[in-house]
Structure 1
Amino acid sequence: MNLSLIADLAVNGLVIGGIYAVVAIGLNLQYGLMRILNIAHGEFLMIGAFVMFALHTSTQVNPLWFVPVVTLACFILGVALHGLVFKRLTAQAKSLDQVEERSLIIGFGLMFILQNAATLIWGSDLHGYDFLNHSVKFGGVIVTQNRLLVLLLAVVVSVGLIMLLQRTLIGKAVRGMLQSPLGAQLVGVDSARMNPLVFGLGIAMAGFAGSLLSMIYEISPSVGESYTIMALIVITLGGLGSIGGSFMAAMLLGLVESFGTHFTNPSLKMILSYSIFVLVLIFKPKGLFAK
């Protein structure tokens, strides 16, 4: 087998996995901490991608300058959304199961609202822009600069967040709430303050992923749906509440997709992902990397 082909597929898989990781980590924080099943999570990726597209095409400024702007805007949007919708939902719910059920219904509503709003503003056509499309060669591997940049940013932010959760007091509080919300409250963690911040962080991660996605792919109002599904698969593979597990599972899934679709058929992408999903649910339901 051609080694350059293997390296090319590996790089492509890692790029895909990097996007999956950023999206899945955000959703895992929300669901693992508050049991909010935000099925519209991918739509915030879509919104982040379109805002990045609009800012870059209207100003012609390097899109890298807008990445923190989009991420911060999505964080503020997430905090506001939690205060307006999900805070009341969790306060009124009588159990975590009820939180999941109601948040799922609300998530579907948000998904259709955001999709239709994006369609009204930007239309249903594909949109994109050229950014660092020049190819670079490492040995026998040829890859575009924008893909290398996206991979680097996705890995840096994902690993940085994992380190933040591992080594800071706030991170320990979040991990404590992920493991036992009641136990964390008993030792002084203020969930009323932490929940909106973590929910906002989850939305910010989705917006960040969208800004990266716009640099390498064309986007449409429906682009977020598949990323929500993949994020749920990644969370299942990595383990609920395991942020490091989500990162590892996302990279693994990206590699499986890249190699699997090349050596079989590109149309089998979702079949491969769902097959892995079902097998893990059957043989290791707590996830591959769950502690």
Structure 2
Amino acid sequence: LNVAHGEFIMVGAFLTIWLLGSVNLNPLVSVVVSGPVIFVIGFVLHKTLFRRLMDTSPSLDIFEGKSMLASFGLLYVVQNVARIIWGSDVESFNFLNRTVTAAQIPLNRLVALGFVIVIGVAFFFFLARTRMGKAIRASAQDPTTAGMMGVNIHNVLAICFGLGLAMAGIAGTLISTLYATTTSIGLLYTVIAMIVVVLGGLGSISGAMIGGVILGLVSQLVTYFQPSLTTIAYYVVFVLLLLARPKGIMGK
């Protein structure tokens, strides 16, 4: 469980803002910077930190406990380094704010939705069709057998960790085109991500997507009537759905 995940959403957002301000790079183009840069950070972190914790842990439970504590420390390190570099002020910029269609939908939201769909389809293709994607799925289902078949489990784990953080960075880039952000907002995104994953069902990518859609609809509905209750609404929906489906929407 990486509780520092949301901090890399924040880093992706601020990388986008920095690139826009320093070299006037289009926010959408900065995806090709934030994603790879944060992937490398994630890969190195896993190799140097989490791999070491894994090798020195006698059991999975102990490793999970150690990794959670380590990610808490990582959360504060990333947050404070970001604060030193970019400050603690609220940052935002105008990007494709004009509305389109009869429903007056902001263009930046449609563009962000299009990016999410393209990235989601590409990720599904990567997992289903590529050699590395098959190695990732095999390692998740049965790491012992995958290792016996020649899969380098440690490299696969590091790549998965890097990909997860890269996705967070890309999400941060898209979020920065829609909302103002600060260097202290990462923890909120971590909580939202955890709620989405648990709602969808642990281990289910399609379930996580459904959970994200549900939470997004709830957010928009509550924000329309009372924006200050949005965060509370997340938890209410989370509890109600878990009471109805303890293993999540797509959980088995």
TM-score bracket for this pair, using the shorter chain length: over 0.9
SS of 2:250's equivalent? Answer: coil
Tell me the CA shift for residue 167 of structure 1.
Answer: 3.0
1:99 to 57, 63, 71: 63
- Residue 144 (structure 1) aligns with: 106
- Residue 231 (structure 2) aligns with: 270
Tell me the CA shift for residue 76 of structure 1.
Answer: 0.7
User: Are the structure 2 counterparts of residues 134 and 243 from structure 1 closer, same or farther at C-alpha, using a change threshold of 3 Å?
Assistant: same
Q: Which runs of 5+ in 2 are unaligned?
A: none
- Residue 244 (structure 1) aligns with: 206
- Residue 209 (structure 1) aligns with: 171
C-alpha distance in structure 1 between counterparts of 2:58 and 2:224, whole Å? 48
C-alpha distance in structure 1 between counterparts of 2:125 and 2:58, whole Å? 34
2:87 to 100, 119, 123: 123
SS of 1:189's equivalent? Answer: coil
- Residue 230 (structure 1) aligns with: 192
User: Does structure 2 conserve the Cα–Cα contact (< 8 Å) formed by 1:46 and 1:223?
Assistant: yes
User: Does structure 1 conserve the Cα–Cα contact (< 8 Å) formed by 2:135 and 2:146?
Assistant: yes
- Residue 56 (structure 1) aligns with: 20
**Cα RMSD between the aligned structures?**
1.7
Tell me the CA shift for residue 231 of structure 1.
Answer: 0.6
Identity percentage of aligned residues: 44
Tell me the CA shift for residue 287 of structure 1.
Answer: 1.4
User: Does structure 2 conserve the Cα–Cα contact (< 8 Å) formed by 1:236 and 1:285?
Assistant: no
Q: Which runs of 5+ in 1 are unaligned?
A: 1-36
C-alpha distance in structure 2 between counterparts of 1:285 and 1:51, whole Å? 38
Q: Counterpart of 1:269 in structure 2: which amino acid?
A: T
- Residue 44 (structure 1) aligns with: 8
> What is the TM-score of this pair, normalised by structure 2?
0.93
C-alpha distance in structure 1 between counterparts of 2:125 and 2:210, whole Å? 14
Give 1:148-159 correspondences, 5 Å limit.
Answer: 148-159=110-121
1:253 to 203, 208, 215: 215
Q: Which has the higher contact order (CA 8 A, sep 6+)?
A: 1
C-alpha distance in structure 2 between counterparts of 1:268 and 1:248, whole Å? 22
> What is the TM-score of this pair, normalised by structure 1?
0.81
C-alpha distance in structure 2 between counterparts of 1:226 and 1:154, whole Å? 20
Give 1:163-174 correspondences, 5 Å limit.
Answer: 163-174=125-136
C-alpha distance in structure 1 between counterparts of 2:108 and 2:115, whole Å? 11
Tell me the CA shift for residue 96 of structure 1.
Answer: 1.8
Superimposed CA distance per residue, residues 188-246 of structure 1 (whole angstroms, 9 cap, x where no aligned partner): 43212211111110110111111111111111011111110011011101111111211
SS of 1:131's equivalent? Answer: coil
Q: Counterpart of 2:118 in structure 1: which amino acid?
A: V
User: Does structure 2 conserve the Cα–Cα contact (< 8 Å) formed by 1:165 and 1:174?
Assistant: yes
User: Does structure 2 conserve the Cα–Cα contact (< 8 Å) formed by 1:70 and 1:207?
Assistant: yes
Stretch of structure 1 that moved more, 120-129 or 199-208? 120-129
Tell me the CA shift for residue 186 of structure 1.
Answer: 4.0
- Residue 47 (structure 2) aligns with: 83
Superimposed CA distance per residue, residues 151-205 of structure 1 (whole angstroms, 9 cap, x where no aligned partner): 1111211232123212333222222322333343344432122111111101101
